[in-house]
Structure 1
Amino acid sequence: MRVRGVGGLRWVVVAAGVTLTVTACGGDTEEPGDREVSPTVVTESSEPSTSSPTTTSSLSLTPVPKALDGDAVEEAVRSVLTGSYGIADVESVRCPQQPAVIEGATFDCTAIIADESKRIPIKIVDEEGRYEVGLPV
């Protein structure tokens, strides 16, 4: 990503083919022609179109949460069930594929133990993605 100032009032952000231009006024007084400008995203399309080659839409600055790798969680849960909890007959474990890493959040995995489906509660303990594996319910 590249960020650069143009004339002290204009900032351009370029990331993966998306350009964001934000213009701000320079002071508290309003000059003729000053106006408030909202951030916009301009995306260029590489496909031919009968309309304009660019599209303008509003920009959302909502962060994308980190997510756990569901396959890795399944392996870890199976390991905890067999190693730490001493459950010998764990047949399979299924977990959500991309649970969000949000401290305090919970989700459930499902394990087949001795031909019975059991719920395995999982709790995210920190923003680094560490989690606790509960006993089968």
Structure 2
Amino acid sequence: MSRRARLCACLAASVLPLAGCGGGGDAPPAPTSLGGTTGGGMPSSSTLSPAPRVFDARALEDGVRQVLTQSYGLADVGEVRCPSGQFVQAGISFDCEVVVGGVRKNVTLTVQGLDGTYQVSQPR
């Protein structure tokens, strides 16, 4: 057997067992790539930018409540509602609804950095 034929036989033997792994039921096997591109010359998933991070709305609500009580000294903070799907992107702002002393108000969160830090405005 030539050197090239042995190399192809070894590659085929090492790739074929992977075809049945990682899936269950009717799911197709995950695509694999031996080079830096997938079919059609498109970059492989390892060369694409990571998906943007999104805040967890429940964690934001807990954080807003903590800022309002500890930093602003508000004692009667009730419900806090922040919108879901907000991206962790420096410079963006969005509002959360809060109930303070039984009155519905808004606070603005301004994202400071990609690490997820943000500032909370006073209720208005």
Q: Normalising to structure 1: TM-score of the pair?
A: 0.57
Whether 1:17 and 2:54 are equivalent positions in the alignment is no
> For residue 101 of structure 2, what is the aligned residue in structure 1?
114
The equivalent residue for 2:121 is 134
Deviation at 1:68, TM superposition (A): 1.4
Q: Deviation of residue 38 (structure 1)? A: 3.5
> Quick one: which amino acid aligns to residue 93 of structure 2?
T
In structure 1, C-alpha distance between the alignment counterparts of 2:49 and 2:43, rounded to whole Å: 14
What residue is the counterpart of 2:42 in the other structure?
39
The residue matched to 1:92 in structure 2 has which SS? strand
Distance 1:108 1:64 in 2: 23
Amino acid paired to 1:83: Q
- Which whole-Å CA distance do the structure 1 matches of 2:81 and 2:30 have between them? 37
- Which protein has the bigger helix share? 2
When normalised by structure 2's length, the TM-score is 0.63
RMSD: 2.7
- The structure with higher relative contact order (CA 8 Å, sep 6+) is 2
1:7: which partner in 2? none
- 2:51 alignment counterpart: 64
Q: Which has the higher strand share?
A: 1
Letter in 2 for 1:39: M
Describe the SS at the equivalent of 2:69.
Answer: helix
**1:96 is aligned to 2:79:** no
Q: Distance in 1 between matches of 2:31 and 2:92?
A: 32
Q: When the two structures are aligned, how many residues end up with a matched partner?
A: 92
Summarize the Cα distance change of 1:108–1:91 in structure 2 as closer, same or farther, 3 Å threshold: same
Any stretches of 5+ residues in structure 2 without a counterpart? 1-28
Change (3 A) 1:17 1:83: same
Instruction: State the alpha-carbon separation in 2 of the partners of residues 82 and 63 from structure 1.
Output: 35
